[in-house]
Amino acid sequence: MISSAANTAVIQVVAGLGCRRGCSLEDLSTLLIDSLQAQGLTVDNLAGLASIAHKRDEPGLLALAERLGLTLTCFSPEELSPYQHLVQACALTLAATGSPAVAEPCALALAEHLGGHVAQLLGSKTRNASATCALASISAKDIA
């Protein structure tokens, strides 16, 4: 029998994260783990984390990246604009961030950057009271 760890090692993903100011490490971590588990994945499948540029100093996001040993890559609203047509826009998110969506375009942008080709979202974004998370896949052969 093949273990689940052997099966999940084939898929590498990135997580795009949006959050309210002051979102806790635990809220972000729980949401991320739940999002991964919903896709049959673990943190071992993660190749990176992404968010919007004005969240680059958000303590919860920085603590999550540190806990996981991953880089937090931040994108400007302009860098995310090519991915916006693929996701549902939110007027509140646009007003707060300058981008009509955060989690999904961030995941797509980072996955494309790392993989060198058009990325795909894995399912719908997930959310809790203070954050959103979207996963995008990268083929293992594309990871440097």
Q: Which residue has the tokens 């993903």?
A: 13
What integer pLDDT is reported at residue 8 of this predicted model? 41
Q: Count other Cβ atoms within 10 Å, centred on residue 133.
A: 27
Q: Which residue has the tokens 């999940």?
A: 8
Higher pLDDT pick, 93 / 67: 67
Q: What is the CATH number of domain 12-142?
A: 3.30.420.180
Whether the per-residue pLDDT at 118 is higher than 70: the answer is yes
How far apart CA 68 and CA 124 sit, in angstroms, is: 23
What integer pLDDT is reported at residue 6 of this predicted model? 43
Task: List the chain domain ranges.
Answer: 12-142
pTM score, whole prediction: 0.84
